[in-house]
Amino acid sequence: MTLIIAGDRSGVGKTTITLAILAFLVKKGHQVQSFKVGPDYIDPMFHTYITGRPCRNLDPILTSQTYVKDCFQEQNQGVDYSLIEGVMGLFDGVPIHKSDTVETFSNTSLPYGSTAYIARLLKIPVVLVIDCSRLSGSVAAIAHGYRSLDPNIEIIGVILNRVASDRHLTLLETALLTLNLPLFGSLRRQDSLTIPDRHLGLVPTDELKDLRIFVEKLAHLAQTAFNWDLLLPHLTSHTPHTPHTPHTPTKIAIARDRAFNFYYADNLDLLEKLGAELVFWSPITDETLPEGITGLYFGGGFPEIFAEALFHNQNTRKAIKKAIMKGMPTYAECGGLMYLCQEIITFEAETWPMVGILPTRAKMGKNLTLGYRQAIASQDSLLLTSGETLWGHEFHRSELTQASHNPLFHLYSWHSPSSAYAEGWQHHNLHASYLHLHFGGCSRVVEKFLHRCLDFSQGLALD
């Protein structure tokens, strides 16, 4: 069995509470698998840092209901405990209805992909986190409302966060007595346990100093903050382990460092399952491309923060451009797209030359572009067939100073909340877009990419 740690809204402390539980279990020597609802990259980095196992995203919009179920079952194999961190508030989501829905819920208006939706899809109980910094007796009304809104969602208890004092806790506990709703834990205001953030959320783990000390503090906090007699029975996993069968590899270079670290663990797994050998390298510190590679994969991240360091590694930038011009299949999304532009213009209005394979610049701005997109392939390209439809997610504060005026270069079209939109670049053998894809929802893209890499290794021309 597994629990979902959900919040009554965003910002109530779900991530801190989830990390504290994970840290305590790992400190006790347990194998723990964690999951994150939705498309987020950074929260899973913290999960992975603590557990030593890749955190898995559960997102039926980017993938499918079937994929979410299969992923959850497969990744629970061979572990002692598992835990899911929700997204936003329990019932928060987006009004999306996918045509590939294989299971419908009657008598419900649950937003597709919300934490509540995942709870019902996987039949997993919920522990509700409530921010009590400005509450006392009203906590009972909040808990009662969440528990009664949808009787198909099983809320089995609450965790009270940001409790001010013993007296405050007594008032909260007294109010909850009328509901007969178990208290799974309570946390005081822990200012010293705040994780720093910036324009796209939390600062990634690779950039934080003393993270080990922070995790130790979380584990110590969890020891006394939670009712482990209630928690542990719900977290136990007894699924047997099934090993994967290795495949003959094709070498793919994965850019992974402080500038590029937004990768879904399932994306990397699927590449390996379909025959890729993954070679991780750094565009910041490595002065050459890895030897023997037949493809390049640039994920998202923060190239704008490390633009100066990326610029100074001129040998690598030249090698990347040369490889792409020679025909090496290349997949780049968001931060990877920015890196392949002529220049990046930072928040401070500094201009740094980048790889230069795309005839445009990436300029940082104040506006956040955020949301799921149903994208339609504008034409046949390296990885797509004209008219093909897939789901992705945008999350960035940059924009390109020049869109592709040549329609032959467009990858996608979609309808944003305000207008129709053409996006992405296909140039030679390059697929570059702001759209983040979860390969669990478009495995055909991975298959096509690896076929292209095989063609390249054999000296075959790419159309």
Q: Give the domain 250-457 fold.
A: Rossmann fold (3.40.50)
**Looking up tokens 């600062």, which residue turns up?**
203
Note the pLDDT tens digit of each residue in 179-222. 999 999 999 987 557 777 877 778 888 888 889 999 999 999 99
Q: Give dist(CA 56, CA 296) in Å, integer.
A: 23
Confidence at residue 261, expressed as pLDDT on a 0 to 100 scale: 96
pLDDT digits (tens, 9 = 90+) for 83-104: 999 999 999 987 776 665 545 5
223, pLDDT greater than 60 = yes
pLDDT in tens, 8-25: 999 999 999 999 999 999
Residue 463: per-residue pLDDT: 46
Question: What CATH code is assigned to 3-235?
Answer: 3.40.50.300
Mean pLDDT of the chain: 89
Pure H helices in 276-359: 307-312, 314-325, 335-339
Q: Which amino acid is at 422?
A: A
pLDDT for 246 beyond 60: no
pLDDT at res. 302: 95
Q: Which of helix, strand or coil describes residue 415?
A: strand
pLDDT at 128 over 90: yes
- Encoded tokens for 47: 């999960």
The span from the CA of 332 to the CA of 43, in Å, is: 22
Asked, colleague to colleague, whether 3-235 and 250-457 share their fold, the answer is yes
pLDDT of residue 422: 78
Mean pLDDT of the region 32-56: 96
Which H or E run contains 158? Answer: strand 155-163
Domain boundaries, the chain: 3-235, 250-457
Of the residues 334, 341, 442, 453, which is catalytic?
334
Share of the chain above pLDDT 90, in %: 73
Closest CA to 27 of 300, 176, 223: 223
Q: Which of 460, 453, 442, 462 is nearest to 248 (CA)?
A: 453
Q: How far is CA 23 from CA 42, 140, 218, 369, in A?
A: 17, 29, 6, 33
Predicted local confidence at residue 29, as pLDDT: 94
Burial category of 195 from C-beta neighbours within 10 Å (exposed 0-12, middle 13-18, buried 19 and up) = middle
Neighbouring C-beta atoms of residue 330, cutoff 10 Å: 26
CB 282 within 8 A of CB 326: no
More confident residue, 236 or 20: 20
CB atoms under 10 Å from CB of 170, counted, come to 12
Does the active-site annotation cover 341?
Answer: no
